A and B are shown apart, each in its own frame.
Chain A
Amino acid sequence: MDPIVSIKALSKRYANGFEALKSVTLDIEKGEILALLGPNGAGKTTLISTICGIVTPSEGSVTVAGHDIVTDYRKTRAMIGLVPQELTTDAFESVFDTVSFTRGLFGKKRDDAVVERVLKSLSLWDKKDNKIMMLSGGMKRRVLIAKALAHEPEILFLDEPTAGVDMELRKDMWEVVRDLRRTGVTIILTTHYIEEAEEIADRIGVINNGELLLVEEKQALMQKMGQKQLTLDLQAPLDALPDSLMDYALELGDGGTSLTYTYDTQAKRTGITALLGDLSAAGISFRDLRTSQSSLEEIFVSLVKDSA
């Protein structure tokens, strides 16, 4: 299946020379939830703003369902809904009116039934006549999502949907995102919360300094995360590993005083029992042992550090 969004060698240089995006290439599949993970200032917002038409690209191209975002902007933008990071809403309009306005702006005929359905799905229906300025921050965020959905887009961009939102609301928001996916909407969200990406994404892209460092299925990343290390502190230093232990791919460290064994926690057999048996058969005794696990956070931090 062709990707619904295809980004090719996209770069953005601002007038002051700052390179916000450096030749980003990425395909987004229809119906998936893609999380773009990266620290503040990594280029996440620039990337989605470019796809949505707010930022003009310097080089490269983006197509949405095969249409170019510059030459065919009417088609591409009509398919996209954008929820910005900042709570930028009107103040004096009612919730219903502001959502209905966006529907019109995106070229759709006024349809109160659609607006009603969107508001109800976001638990905003009882607030439909409230002025937006009277709403709490969490409710305003929902209004922004409702506006983005008012024209029934196929692709939804959520820029930091849970930044500065408390845990309960964040879980609510994840539920909203999952519900949307069930209706077939492709969702791209940016976040700097790793657990958020872990919780709801199908794929995770890591972005830093304007570069896309990696895009992987969450499961594959989880597997990396599932790797564990068993470190044994030896009683006496070893010069070399005995042949009987060669199959374990052990690492000898700290001047021969420690052995590190890497294993997969998700595998049926971790091989720990066998290793310990073979160690004692080889006459190697140890005085301490510990295990450690690389988290997504560590993977992320090391990726980001390497790219800096």
Chain B
Amino acid sequence: MNFQAVKAIYLFEMARTWRTIWQSIVSPVVSTSLYFVVFGSAIGSRIETVEGVSYGAFIVPGLIMLTLLTQSISNASFGIYFPKFTGTIFEILSAPVSFFEVVIGYVGAAATKALMIGLIILLTATLFVDIRIAHPLWMVGFLVLTAISFSLLGFIIGIWADSFEKLQLVPLLVVTPLVFLGGAFYSISMLPEAWQSVALANPVVYLISGFRWSFFEVSDVPVGISLAMVGLFLALCLGVIWWIFKTGYQLKK
């Protein structure tokens, strides 16, 4: 195991975070605060409670998930796409590192950054609403697993993309709609019955439901199923990455 290489890639990626601190950390905090103002205060004041939880607090887990997913994907996809774009990827390919080590470096850094932002949003939220976390360990567990899974997905997208447009395609056209339709701002049970079954096909429903359960002990689906779905998604991403590295897809000629 080339620990030095993992460390070098990880620190290189984290240095990018610090260098672009405004874009990396501050802008998600600002946009989340705006969600709170609009959904939490303006609209939320018309909605009393959802499943016994005040609406302002109810949307916090969904908001954190929304940012966690988009940040994990964009950090990891950009991290591996940019060296491909500039050509510096040659260095990674000619270094004595296994693909596994490369993934740990890039995905680890992307997940770390996404987690930092998730926690900052949680802290920001406490300024607006009263939050109590029923199962802190579960909460952290869901956060970490989700950050890693979606950073892996981001890594896959970064390898697949051969233009900046493609890099944006999946996050904008797939992930954001799934999160909005996945119950970030409402409970699935508020939907008409037919749509409830459709919603269950959305993987993000399980993430948000499980994560929300760790806060308020209310969920759309049993927490065990949520955890299983995250695990399944993680395994799926690992499988795709294993295949990419075995075949050298988009990396090696």
A-side interface residues toward B, CB under 8 Å? 14-15, 52-56, 73-78, 80, 82, 84, 86, 88-93, 97, 101-110, 147
Decide if A107 touches B4 in the complex (CB within 8 Å).
yes
Decide if A102 touches B93 in the complex (CB within 8 Å).
no
Contact flags B69-91 to A (C-beta < 8 A → 1, else 0):
00000000000000000111011
Question: Shortest distance in angstroms between B149's beta carbon and chain A's nearest beta carbon?
Answer: 26
Given A55-B252, A84-B87, A91-B86, verify A106-B12 contact (CB < 8 Å): no
Add 13 more A-B contacts to A55-B253, A108-B4 (CB < 8 A).
Answer: A54-B90, A54-B253, A78-B96, A80-B94, A82-B94, A88-B86, A92-B16, A92-B19, A104-B11, A105-B4, A105-B5, A105-B9, A107-B5
Which B residue's beta carbon lies closest to that of A79?
B96
- Which A-B residue pairs are the 9 nearest by beta carbons? A104-B8, A88-B87, A77-B96, A74-B96, A52-B94, A78-B96, A105-B95, A54-B93, A107-B2
Decide if B8 touches A56 in the complex (CB within 8 Å).
no
Which B residue's beta carbon lies closest to that of A54?
B93
Main secondary structure of the interface of A (DSSP, over half): loop
Given A56-B252, A56-B253, A82-B90, verify A75-B5 contact (CB < 8 Å): no
Decide if B88 touches A105 in the complex (CB within 8 Å).
no
Decide if B91 touches A147 in the complex (CB within 8 Å).
yes
Which A residue's beta carbon lies closest to that of B6?
A104
Which B residue's beta carbon lies closest to that of A90?
B88
Given A54-B252, A56-B248, verify A86-B87 contact (CB < 8 Å): yes
B-side interface residues toward A, CB under 8 Å? 2, 4-5, 7-9, 11-12, 15-16, 19, 86-88, 90-97, 248, 252-253
Decide if B252 touches A97 in the complex (CB within 8 Å).
no
Question: Shortest distance in angstroms between A281's beta carbon and chain B's nearest beta carbon?
Answer: 67
Given A104-B4, A104-B8, verify A77-B95 contact (CB < 8 Å): yes
Complex interface: chain B residues within 8 A of A93 (CB): 12, 15
Question: Shortest distance in angstroms between B248's beta carbon and chain A's nearest beta carbon?
Answer: 6
Decide if B95 touches A106 in the complex (CB within 8 Å).
yes
Question: Shortest distance in angstroms between A74's beta carbon and chain B's nearest beta carbon?
Answer: 4
Question: Shortest distance in angstroms between B251's beta carbon and chain A's nearest beta carbon?
Answer: 9
A107 to B4, CA, bound (A): 5
Contact among B19, B87, B91 with A105 in the assembled complex (CB-CB below 8 Å): B91
Complex interface: chain A residues within 8 A of B12 (CB): 93, 101
Which A residue's beta carbon lies closest to that of B5?
A105
Which A residue's beta carbon lies closest to that of B3?
A107
Decide if A90 touches B86 in the complex (CB within 8 Å).
yes
A204 to B88, CA, bound (A): 29
Which A residue's beta carbon lies closest to that of B102?
A105
A-B contact pairs, 25 of them (CB 8 A): A15-B253, A54-B252, A56-B252, A74-B96, A76-B96, A77-B95, A77-B96, A78-B96, A82-B94, A88-B88, A89-B88, A90-B86, A92-B19, A93-B12, A97-B15, A101-B8, A101-B12, A102-B8, A104-B7, A104-B11, A105-B4, A105-B97, A106-B96, A107-B4, A107-B96
Complex interface: chain B residues within 8 A of A78 (CB): 96
Which B residue's beta carbon lies closest to that of A87?
B87
Question: Shortest distance in angstroms between A198's beta carbon and chain B's nearest beta carbon?
Answer: 29
A285 to B55, CA, bound (A): 114
Complex interface: chain B residues within 8 A of A102 (CB): 8, 91
Complex interface: chain B residues within 8 A of A86 (CB): 87
Complex interface: chain A residues within 8 A of B253 (CB): 14-15, 54-56
- Tell me which of B16, B88, B96, B253 has the highest count of chain A C-beta atoms within 10 A of its own C-beta: B96
Which A residue's beta carbon lies closest to that of B12?
A101
Question: Shortest distance in angstroms between A256's beta carbon and chain B's nearest beta carbon?
Answer: 57
Complex interface: chain B residues within 8 A of A104 (CB): 4-5, 7-8, 11
- Tell me which of A14, A56, A106, A110 has the highest count of chain B C-beta atoms within 10 A of its own C-beta: A106
A103 to B8, CA, bound (A): 8
Complex interface: chain A residues within 8 A of B96 (CB): 73-78, 106-107
Complex interface: chain A residues within 8 A of B87 (CB): 84, 86, 88
